[in-house]
Structures are given as structure tokens and as C-alpha cells.
Amino acid sequence: MADSEPEAMVRKYYELVDAGRYDDLVELFTEDVRYERPGQGAIEGREALRAFYEDERPLEEGSHEVRDLVVDGDAIAVHGSFAGRQAGEDVTFGFADFHELNDDGDAIARRYTFTDRDEV
């Protein structure tokens, strides 16, 4: 069975972030995207998102493993794990991400990340 368009878009996000292709990554998001992580300030706007990934992201490198992905209309929930480097140390942790698409369903408008780490 082929991926749905929302599923393919979200899977592409993880491919691009793991590859460090941030110019392509931000094109998946609306101009006014909002990215929230508990305990950390919200990131608002595509350019702020680009700056976060290029210069501010605490995770230095690594890869995501998507274990479960559920699409419900314009909402996509992802459960998975990340293995990589943070502050010069190897890290592995689970995550739950939620993506909300814009009204046209062709870009991610909101993103939420939940982990057991203080910063991601």
C-alpha cells in the first residue's frame, strides 16, 4: 500500500532532518509554522525554524526510527526513537511527535515534540 500524502510528507521530514537538508526541510512547513516542545520556547515562522535546525538544535546528529505513524485527517501522530549525539555524548530516546497540516493539506502548520529529554 502506498503512503498517503500526509504520511509521505511527514516521513520526508524525518529523512531530511536526519540528512541535514534544512533548506528542503523547511519547505515542508507553512511560512507561519509553530513548533512547540514542552519546557522550551516555541519556534514561530519558517525562518526561525531554519535557524533552529542550522544553529540552535541541541541534537548534533543522528537518525530517527519511525515505529508508528497514524494519519487522522489533517493530523499525523508519530511514535519512534532517536539515536545520535547531544552535547558530545551518544543519546538514545523515544519521542512522540504530532503534526498538523494547513487547510490545503500541503504543508505542516504546527508541530509538537514530546520526549523524556530536557532539550531536543
Digit-coded pLDDT (tens) for 6-46:
999 999 999 999 999 999 999 999 999 999 998 889 999 99
Full-model pTM: 0.90
Given the C-alpha cell 514561530, which residue does it identify? 44
List of long-range contacts for 9-12, beta carbons under 8 Å, 24+ apart:
9/101, 9/108, 10/69, 10/76, 10/78, 10/99, 10/108, 11/66, 11/69
What pLDDT score does 3 carry?
A: 58
Please state, in angstroms and rounded to a whole number, the distance separating the CA atoms of residues 42 and 111.
10
Could you write out the three-class secondary structure of 91-113?
A: EEEEEEEEEEECCCCCCEEEEEE
Q: Where are the alpha helices (DSSP H) in 42-94?
A: 46-51
Averaged pLDDT of the chain: 93
Predicted confidence band of residue 1 (pLDDT cuts 50, 70, 90): very low
What pLDDT score does 118 carry?
A: 64
Please state, in angstroms and rounded to a whole number, the distance separating the CA atoms of residues 101 and 30.
9
In CATH terms, 5-115 corresponds, of 3.10.450.50, 3.40.250.10, 3.20.20.80, 3.40.640.10, to 3.10.450.50
